[in-house]
């Protein structure tokens, strides 16, 4: 498996969607994963067709930001409050009730179907805020992805640094292989590229966006309403290192 550099959050907002399209055109990323619940979804679909990367789009499963697509999820307080997703489950993960499991599977299915209905094949999956890696959610994500013949899925971080340590307590990476999915051996962020021993079997996650000066960046956060991060063009130098 070759090096994968995935741009997350396609369709979430205009700025990050335009940045992902630019990064794809510049060869800075190889794939992207799309949020069906994003405010820029329809425009991002048109942009992908115009830019010719519809075969590089996966699904960015989401239970933590924006508006759900299904009525059953809108009626599930564990993930939705006042009609919007919230991050409460990330802070206090627990086993899900039968009705909550049903809601998660229905919502994931709707999110995948939304993308596929636009003619996008969807061969790979990951998730917003790593929600598919939480142990009670993992089998639900796996079941739905198998239903849609999605064979490749993102694993948990394998590179650990003081700034970004490995997230503990999530699904073990080997579990995805046991469930029949294709994965890379390594996964991390742009800053981890210098540590990569086997870059041909690694996935790097980036969040393309524009800073206040219009510079293409890997977004690390937002300050005073503007994204900030490292210049995304630096990824080529890091890989060569």
In this prediction the pTM is 0.95
Q: What is the pLDDT of residues 125-168, one digit of tens each?
A: 999 999 999 999 999 999 999 999 999 999 999 988 877 788 88
Taking 80 as the threshold, does the pLDDT of residue 240 lie above it?
no
| Alpha carbon of residue 98 to chain centroid | 26
At 126 the three-state DSSP class reads strand
Q: Which domain holds residue 89?
A: 4-240
Q: Looking at the 3D structure of the chain, how many domains does it have? A: 1
Q: What is the pLDDT of residue 22?
A: 98
Nearest one of 54, 32, 2 to 207, comparing CA atoms: 32
Q: What is the pLDDT of residue 198?
A: 60
Q: Residue 63: which CATH number?
A: 3.20.20.370
Q: What is the pLDDT of residues 161-218, one digit of tens each?
A: 877 788 889 999 999 999 999 999 999 998 887 766 666 789 999 999 999 999 999 9
- Spatial separation of the C-alpha atoms in residues 203 and 104, rounded to whole Å: 26
Helix/strand/coil (H/E/C) assignment for every residue in 167-228: CCCCCCHHHHHHCCCECCCEEEEHHHHHHCCCHHHEEEEECEEECCCCCEEEEEEEECCEEE
CA atoms within 13 A on the CB side of 1: 14
């Amino acid at each position: 498996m070759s090096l994968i550099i995935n741009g997350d959050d396609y369709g979430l907002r205009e700025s990050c969607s335009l940045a992902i399209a630019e990064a794809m055109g510049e060869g800075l990323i190889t794939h992207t994963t799309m949020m069906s619940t994003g405010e820029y979804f329809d425009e991002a679909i048109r942009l992908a067709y115009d830019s010719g990367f519809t075969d590089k789009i996966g699904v960015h499963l989401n239970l933590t930001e924006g508006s759900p697509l299904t009525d059953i999820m809108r009626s599930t307080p564990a993930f939705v409050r006042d009609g919007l997703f919230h991050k409460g489950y990330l802070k206090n993960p627990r086993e899900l009730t039968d009705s909550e499991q049903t809601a998660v599977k229905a919502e994931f299915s709707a999110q995948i179907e939304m993308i596929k209905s636009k003619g996008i094949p969807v061969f790979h999956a990951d998730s917003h805020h790593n929600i598919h890696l939480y142990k009670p959610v993992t089998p639900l994500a796996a079941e739905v992805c198998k239903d849609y013949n999605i064979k490749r899925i993102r694993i948990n971080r394998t590179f650990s640094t003081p700034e970004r340590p490995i997230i503990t307590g999530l699904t073990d990476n080997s579990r995805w292989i046991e469930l029949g999915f294709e994965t890379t051996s390594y996964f991390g962020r742009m800053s981890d590229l210098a540590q990569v021993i086997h870059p041909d079997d690694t996935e790097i996650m980036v969040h393309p966006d524009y800073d206040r000066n219009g510079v293409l960046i890997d977004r690390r956060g937002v300050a005073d309403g503007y994204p900030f991060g490292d210049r995304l063009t630096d990824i080529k130098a890091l890989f060569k290192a």
